Chains A and B, each alone.
Chain A
Amino acid sequence: MYQVNKRNGLKKGALVLLTAMIGFSLAGCGSAAKPAANQAAEPKQEAPKQEVKKDEEKKLSGKLVVYSAGPKELAEAIQKGYEAKTGVKVEMFQGTTGKILSRMEAEKANPVVDVVVLASLPAAQGLKKSGMTLEYKEAKNADKLIPEWSDKDGHFFGYSSSALGIAYNTKLVQTPPKEWADLAKEEWKGKINIPDPAQSGSALDFVTGYLSGKGDSGWDLLEQYKKNGVAMAGANQEALDPVITGAKSVVAAAVDYMTYQAKAKGEPVDLLYPASGTVISPRPAAIVKTSKNVDNAKAFIDYLLSDEAQKMVADTYLLPGRKDVKAKDRPGAEQIPQMKVDWAWMDANGDAVTKKFAQLFK
């Protein structure tokens, strides 16, 4: 059999050329097919939309694609509640802020997402700046939101928020560190985790927030942390987990609601806020400009700001985004000492800080 093959080596060469030609012609077909396909598809999609608008003003249908940062149970509860209320089917992708942004980047050419729910305010500011968000000033209850957490032009809504603190294992730690500076002390050497700002939106908010207040001298503390063996440990839960099991003793810049959730379950952890102040990191939701289900997306934002969803937020130990909804079994926003931060600076310098932080803690 293969003697025959040898003799036909030349012909095989021609065969590859042929294959290549087929490849090119296929590619040609692909590009030729595009306008036709689009023409065929577009009128079909638009026709029913207009009908809906004319005939019944408010009745929603179809689907909504949401990319949501955790916590998972909250996202699922909101999904269920929204579906029950509107009859719209929600398709949800869950991940960290970084993963959601990267998925959006990967799908740039052909976006499917309608609403993004992130865990970092600068990330939302960035989306707005690059023109990827849709304005929705008329959102219901938007006037009751804490103004600093949301966009004044209605491009994104801080429907909830978390604060960063010092979490510690209560079995291992009798006298917890009280201040950010305490974590640089010898007694904590090798016992501290810090979440990776590249993965955790709220951790990034803390680091940039701290630096925006302190200027370049803020890096001194982080350098001392590094010298003291503070380990960079993935996103928030990955940083907290070893403290729950006792592999580490303390998380610097721990997301508070996760700690409160673990504590409520009975795990030996607790959290405190340094008196010198911390950063509250709002979790914004925004409608994506390329959304094909704008009405559904707007209804989703309305739902996020409704009494019902805000109560779910409080039940997850997050800080509710509305001034008139109380936090549950935890300090409210007004009880948490805050440091002075500059969100515009944080938005502008997020990338550089992430890079420098990664280099420092590598």
Chain B
Amino acid sequence: MQLTGTLSLQRIGMALALVLLAALVVVPLFFIFLSSVQGSQGLDLAAPLRTVAGSGLGEVYVNSLWIGLCTVAGTTLLALPLAWVMANTGLSRHRWLDIVLLVPFMTPPYIGSMGWILFMQRNGYMEQLLPAAAAWTPHFFSVFGMVAIMSLHLFPFLYLILRGSLVRIGGSKEEAAALHGGSFAYRFRRIVVPLLLSSYAMGALLIFVKTIAEFGTPATFGRKIGFYVLTSEIHKYISSWPIDFGKATSLASVLLGTCLLLWYVQAWVTQRHSYQLVGGKGARRSIYRLSGWKAAIAWAYVGGLLVLSIGVPYFSIIAASLMKLRGQGLAWSNLTLSNYVQLLAPGSKSMQALTNSLTLSLAAATLAVVLGTFLALMIHRAKTWPQRLTDLFSMLPNTVPGIVIVLGLIIVWNAPWMPIPLYNTYGMVVLTYVVFFLPYTVQYVKASFTQLDPALFQAGQVFGGKPSYVLRRILLPLIVPGMLAGWMMTFTISIRELVASLLILPPSMETSATYIFAQFEQGKVQLGMAMAVVSVGLTTAMLLAVNYLSSKKDWDV
């Protein structure tokens, strides 16, 4: 009796999940597809293919894939050693590093790229500090530089996934192997790699997708070096005259197809290499003690990473925000705080933009966590195909370039038949952010959820726990870290969200990101950079607070 009750509840939940996702994600994308095949003379299913087969686009496609692959390699190179060090050595005590490492990820890509450009360009800060650098700084303006910028922006993302996974692998399995005579290399190869593979596949896929769906860096840095990718082409067709939605949506469907294929590969890898790592038994951590020089190397690595991912861009950002005249360059006499005074003046446009950003992000993050957790629980282990469908749909926003989703949402919510007047309101922005960042919560919660041993719930049931009790006392406490991570992620990225905001904000409403963008467009780079400093500073402070509160409750697995 009780079992059927649970079942029908689950069915309703499943149906609700699918309906919600259909309305929020699938229908808008379907309309995009529809507009890409709707030629002037009725339906033309081959239109997207013909567009992409058209001249020059093949190269752009290869460029996208290439930059994606290189960035996956780059982030792996940066994140894997760091994750290992932070999971297994004495450095793991320094949890502040986790927060600091979120800073590069919270830095909007277009601002980070701008920082690098200001630093490396001719007569830039690097040459002003060290004139001899002029011999090699031009080499930075190449695909290598672009990959470096993107990797330094995205590696914390992979790092967090890998470290979480390494921590869950725990020391006991490695110890068992060591006891049986396994060397470090053997243990790494036979224990760590296989157990890490599913998390890595997921992380690498997300990095790849984020890279080929990114538009900030290609739009700033890529254009400077003449390197064009799918997103910059799509953006061009959408945002500059003459507009060609058909072409943009055709390119987007190619991008979507690629991402779906990769997603399929990733799901296959995950399915074959997924293990329950969190059991009912308490896990014990064993920590490597690093001897003097090893510790020095580890610290040097961490330090170097911090200098490159935070030091350089933020030197540029802060220096630019403090300048009186940009043409004067670095000089003590050229420094001023007046940009901040202007920025933070009460009632100014900039303060309104900042408040807008904060409230929008709070609303979006909270909604996204509620919805995302619900979806993740519905997806469960993605065994049945409604579950897999839910999984697929909830991941779609991460596999489609943001700009395409935004257009889909505009087409749907601004359609004449739409009865809900959400378009051109505050709510539309929140909705867009939620759709955009839903995959984060789903991913994080799913990651903590799939590694829970079903025995935990069975134990709860055996001892007479009702489903609600099991949910409250066993499930929720164990997935709260995932929810929290999802909330923080959504909050920090939606506060810097640019693409959607540019297209969907009601007229006369600004967020900090669109404000910054507008300042760049208006040539007030100083004000834009000052805003960047303030908004990133605010989010970092908030993260620190959340981290402090959560560490008190000892939620970390």
Residue positions of A touching B, CB distance < 8 A: 1-2, 4-6, 8-9, 11-13, 15-16, 18-19, 22-23, 26, 30-31, 33-34, 37, 65-67, 70-73, 76, 90-99, 101-103, 105-107, 109-110, 112-113, 123, 169, 171-172, 196, 198-199, 201, 204, 231-235, 237-238, 240-242, 244-248, 258, 261-262, 265-269, 350-351, 354, 358-359, 362
Contact = CB atoms under 8 A, between A and B. Distances in A.
Contact of B415 (A4, A67, A72, A109): A109
B242 A351 contact: yes
A15 B121 contact: no
Interface string B394-409: 0000000000000100
A34 B236 CA distance: 34
A104 to B, nearest CB: 9
Contacts of B238: 102
Contacts of B325: 265-268
Contacts of A9: 384-385
Contact of A15 (B15, B243, B416, B507): B15
Contacts of B22: 19, 23
B289 interface: no
B131 to A, nearest CB: 13
Contacts of B241: 97-98, 101-102, 123, 198, 201, 204, 350-351, 354
A93 B19 contact: no
A233 B3 contact: no
A261 B523 contact: yes
Given A70-B521, A199-B240, A266-B325, 16 more contacts: A1-B458, A5-B384, A11-B11, A19-B18, A23-B22, A34-B419, A102-B239, A198-B236, A235-B521, A237-B520, A244-B326, A245-B327, A261-B523, A267-B325, A268-B325, A268-B327
Nearest to A65: B507
A331 B503 CA distance: 37
A18 B19 CA distance: 10
Contact of B417 (A23, A30, A245): A30
A352 B223 CA distance: 21
Interface in B302-340: 324-329
Contacts of B521: 70, 96, 235, 237-238
A63 B125 CA distance: 47
B329 A30 contact: no
A22 B14 contact: no
Contacts of B239: 98-99, 102
10 nearest A-B residue pairs (beta carbon)? A246-B123, A98-B240, A93-B507, A247-B121, A91-B507, A198-B240, A268-B327, A91-B508, A267-B327, A237-B523
Nearest to A16: B386
Contacts of A109: 411, 414-416
13 contacts: A16-B385, A34-B419, A72-B522, A92-B508, A96-B240, A106-B407, A196-B240, A198-B241, A233-B223, A238-B520, A245-B124, A247-B123, A267-B325
B523 A92 contact: no
B121 A91 contact: no
A245 B326 contact: yes
Contacts of A101: 241, 243
Contacts of B503: 103, 106
Contacts of B123: 172, 245-247
A171 B507 CA distance: 40
B319 to A, nearest CB: 11
B211 to A, nearest CB: 21
Contact of A362 (B11, B18, B226, B454): B226
B327 A269 contact: yes
B466 interface: no
B506 interface: yes
Nearest to A71: B522
Contact of A4 (B7, B385, B523): B7
B326 to A, nearest CB: 5
B122 A34 contact: no
Q: Is the interface of A mostly helix, strand, loop or mixed?
A: helix
A15 B14 contact: yes
Contacts of B228: 362
Contacts of B458: 1
Nearest to B461: A1
B137 to A, nearest CB: 11
Contacts of B226: 362
A87 B118 CA distance: 44
A5 B383 contact: yes
B414 A246 contact: no
Contact of B386 (A15, A31, A248, A261): A15
A93 B454 contact: no
B187 interface: no
Interface in B248-307: none
B80 interface: no
A106 B15 CA distance: 32
B511 to A, nearest CB: 13
Contacts of A258: 523
A342 B415 CA distance: 39
Contacts of A201: 241
Contact of B14 (A12, A94, A248): A12
A96 B242 CA distance: 13
Nearest to A98: B240
Interface centre among B410, B417, B502, B525, by most chain A C-beta atoms within 10 angstroms, is B417
Interface in B387-435: 389, 407, 410-411, 414-419, 423-424
B238 to A, nearest CB: 6
B518 interface: yes
Nearest to A245: B326
A354 B244 CA distance: 13
A354 B242 CA distance: 8
Contacts of B454: 1-2
B129 to A, nearest CB: 14
B419 A37 contact: yes
Contacts of B384: 5-6, 8-9, 12
B374 interface: no
B173 interface: no
A70 B523 CA distance: 11
A94 B138 CA distance: 35
Contacts of B242: 350-351, 354
Interface in B1-24: 3, 7, 11, 14-15, 18-19, 22-23
